[in-house]
């Protein structure tokens, strides 16, 4: 599973990075790399079975808890 | 340099808004909390939804040709403006992930129970990423074909269930406490009508900005009227069972049986969801990507399309634990959670802009 994730991310990087380097769009490259790295970390965590906190449930519980609904 | 060179007509904007509002609401019936009075909740919600549309279109009219991110920078300055923009971008990103989540849950429950959710999410996301890459013009042109087909299919479904309708199921009218009706109508105003605030990232690209508001109103109104019709149909066909079902529109279409030949028409409803959900996800996705590119002052929003799409899929996979939590959020948390994004940000920005007498002609922006 992790190998599949790495192949997928590698393909995305291969599609985007050469064009950005050729145009010397470093700011865009940095933005792309940071976002892709975040996605990679989270994807590897999911594929390793590490639970990511459910954001929507946390928001819902905070709001309903605050308002006593 | 503008990040988007495409232009859409006011008619295309109206149709795109209809598609956007149908989005998840084709399948998650709005106003369901009001039981057989759902149509009334939608009608009241539509009124509030038009008010929300009035607020955000007033802001767009005040700053013609500017997206919300650009408006925030002008009104609040770079730092505070970007902070507010990032909050709004989060809302769009989260909205896209929520619709993706609805989408994949529906497909998993009703159509593809053995297919991994991740696969359906990735496939949908690839289609949306492709449309976002091609820009708002392509999305608007797609909407003309797909929204027309959806409305035709809804009419077709409705005609075929006429023999199963019993209008007595709509009686007694106003059977629920007024407080519950008002809450449900507010929830309906927020989802699906208020979500149209995402168009603050799109209104800048209408070729005749002065027609933007009427186009938004037409879109919201037509979508609202169709949703009222669908709610009446569902209640008339399903009766007391209506509020029990997770996907009443889908169940209503299952009733169709014309001489044992024309059956299983409910797949048409699934097609409607897939096509209309595509618009809602794409517009939210487009807004988030374009907004982030503007915040970071990028030369093109295209490089960040795929990374944002991946993050959206991850959020869609992990944002709620189960379908019950999803509906609990839609009915209780969401109508409050979105008030800052749908009402407060546009309204306060408009008031601050008026107080600061922005935009200044011949000044920093015009």
- Reported as a single tens digit per residue, the pLDDT across B44-85 is 999 999 999 999 999 999 999 999 999 999 999 999 999 999
ipTM of the complex: 0.96
Structure confidence at residue B366 (pLDDT):
42
Please write the tens of the pLDDT for every residue from A41-58: 999 999 999 999 999 999
Cα B57 to its chain centre, rounded Å, is 16
Structure confidence at residue B109 (pLDDT):
86
Average pLDDT over chain B reads 90
> In which element (H, E) is residue A63 found?
helix A55-67
**Contact assessment for residue B317 and residue B118, using Cβ atoms and an 8 Å cutoff:** yes
d(CA B125, CA B131) in angstroms, rounded, equals 10
B362, pLDDT greater than 60 = no
CA nearest A5 in B: which residue?
B310
Please write the tens of the pLDDT for every residue from B76-114: 999 999 999 999 999 999 999 999 998 888 888 888 899
Structure confidence at residue B361 (pLDDT):
63
Question: Region A27-33: what's the mean pLDDT?
Answer: 95
Write the CB contacts of B132 (distance below 8 Å, at least 6 apart in sequence): B139, B282, B285, B286, B289, B305
Question: Pick from B101, B308, B329: which is nearest to A35 by CB?
Answer: B308
> Containing domain of residue A23, as a range?
2-67
Delimit the domains of chain B by residue range.
10-355
Q: Is the pTM of this model over 0.80?
A: yes
CA torsion sign for B8, B9, B14, B15 is negative
Please write the tens of the pLDDT for every residue from B172-226: 888 888 898 999 999 999 988 999 999 999 999 999 988 999 999 999 999 999 9
A54/B319 Cβ within 8 A: yes
Per residue, the 3-state secondary structure of chain B, as one string, reads CCCCCCCECHHHHHHHHHHHHHHHHCCCCCCHHHHHHHHHHHHHHHHHHHHHHHHHHHHHHHCCCCCHHHHHHHHHCHHHHHHHHHHHHHHHHHHHHHHHHHHHHHHHHHHCCCCCHHHHHHHHHHHHHHHHHHCHHHHHHHHHHHHHHHHHHHHHHHHHHHHHCCHHHHCCCCCCCHHHHHHHHHHHHHHHHHHHHHHHHCHHHECCHHHHHHHHHHHHHHHHHHHHHHHHHHHHHHHHHHHHCCCHHHHHHHCCCECCCECCCHHHHHHHHHHHHHHHHHHHHHHHHHHHHHHCCCCCCHHHHHHHHHHHHHHHHHCCCCHHHHHHHHHHHHHHHCHHHHHHHHHHHHHHHHHCCCCCCCCCCC
Structure confidence at residue B34 (pLDDT):
81
B128: phi then psi, degrees, rounded to nearest 5: -65, -40
Please write the tens of the pLDDT for every residue from B275-314: 999 999 999 999 999 999 999 999 999 999 999 999 999 9
Instruction: Report how many domains make up chain A.
Output: 1
The neighbour count for residue A1, using CB atoms within 10 Å, is: 12
Structure confidence at residue B365 (pLDDT):
47
Q: B-chain residues within 8 Å CB-CB of A12?
A: 306-307, 310
Write the CB contacts of B224 (distance below 8 Å, at least 6 apart in sequence): B21, B42, B43, B45, B46, B49, B193
A25/B307 Cβ within 8 A: no
Q: Please state which CATH class domain B10-355 belongs to.
A: mainly alpha
- More confident position, B266 or B127: B127
A27/B298 Cβ within 8 A: yes
Q: Is B326 on the interface with A (CB under 8 A)?
A: yes
Cα A1 to its chain centre, rounded Å, is 16
Question: Region B250-261: what's the mean pLDDT?
Answer: 84
Q: Is B339 on the interface with A (CB under 8 A)?
A: no
Residue A68 pLDDT grade (very low, low, confident, very high; cuts 50, 70, 90): confident
Chains A, B: CB contacts within 8 A come to 95
Please write the tens of the pLDDT for every residue from B120-169: 999 999 999 999 999 999 999 999 999 999 999 888 888 988 988 888 98
CA nearest B319 in A: which residue?
A54
d(CA B188, CA B158) in angstroms, rounded, equals 22
**Contact assessment for residue B118 and residue A42, using Cβ atoms and an 8 Å cutoff:** no
Structure confidence at residue B16 (pLDDT):
95
Structure confidence at residue B311 (pLDDT):
96
């Amino acid at each position: 599973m992790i190998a599949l994730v790495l192949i997928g991310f590698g393909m995305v990087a291969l599609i985007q990075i050469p064009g950005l380097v050729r145009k010397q769009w470093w700011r865009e490259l940095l933005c792309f790399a940071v976002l892709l790295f975040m996605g990679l970390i989270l994807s590897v965590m999911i594929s390793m079975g590490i639970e990511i906190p459910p954001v929507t449930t946390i928001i819902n519980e905070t709001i309903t808890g605050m308002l006593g609904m | 340099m503008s990040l988007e060179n495409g232009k859409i007509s006011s008619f295309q904007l109206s149709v795109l808004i209809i598609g956007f509002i149908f989005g998840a609401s084709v399948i998650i019936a709005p106003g369901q909390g009001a039981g057989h009075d759902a149509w009334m909740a939608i009608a009241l919600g539509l009124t509030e939804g038009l008010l929300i549309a009035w607020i955000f279109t007033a802001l767009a009219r005040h700053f013609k040709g500017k997206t919300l991110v650009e408006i925030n920078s002008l009104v609040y300055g770079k730092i505070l403006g970007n902070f507010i923009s990032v909050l709004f971008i989060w809302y769009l990103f989260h909205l896209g992930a929520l619709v993706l989540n609805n989408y994949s849950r529906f497909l998993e429950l009703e159509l593809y129970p053995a297919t991994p959710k991740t696969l359906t999410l990735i496939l949908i996301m690839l289609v949306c990423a492709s449309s976002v890459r091609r820009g708002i013009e392509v999305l608007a042109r797609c909407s003309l074909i797909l929204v027309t087909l959806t409305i035709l299919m809804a009419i077709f479904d409705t005609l075929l269930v006429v023999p199963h309708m019993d209008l007595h199921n709509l009686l007694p009218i106003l059977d629920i406490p007024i407080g519950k009706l008002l809450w449900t109508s507010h929830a309906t105003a927020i989802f699906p009508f208020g979500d149209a605030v995402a168009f603050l990232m799109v209104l800048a690209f209408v070729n005749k900005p002065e027609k933007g508001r009427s186009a938004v109103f037409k879109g919201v109104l037509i979508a609202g009227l169709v949703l009222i019709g669908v709610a009446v149909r569902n209640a008339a066909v399903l009766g007391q069972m209506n509020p029990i079902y997770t996907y009443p529109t889908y169940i209503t279409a299952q009733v169709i049986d014309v001489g044992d030949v024309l059956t299983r028409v409910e797949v048409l409803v699934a097609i409607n969801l897939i096509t209309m959900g595509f618009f809602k996800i794409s517009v939210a996705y487009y807004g988030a990507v374009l907004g982030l590119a503007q915040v970071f002052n990028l030369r093109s929003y295209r490089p960040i399309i795929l990374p944002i799409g991946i993050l959206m899929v991850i959020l869609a996979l992990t944002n709620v634990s189960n379908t019950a939590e999803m509906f609990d959020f839609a009915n209780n948390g969401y109508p409050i959670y979105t008030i800052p994004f749908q009402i407060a940000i546009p309204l306060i920005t408009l008031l601050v802009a008026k107080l600061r007498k922005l935009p200044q002609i011949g000044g920093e922006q015009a």
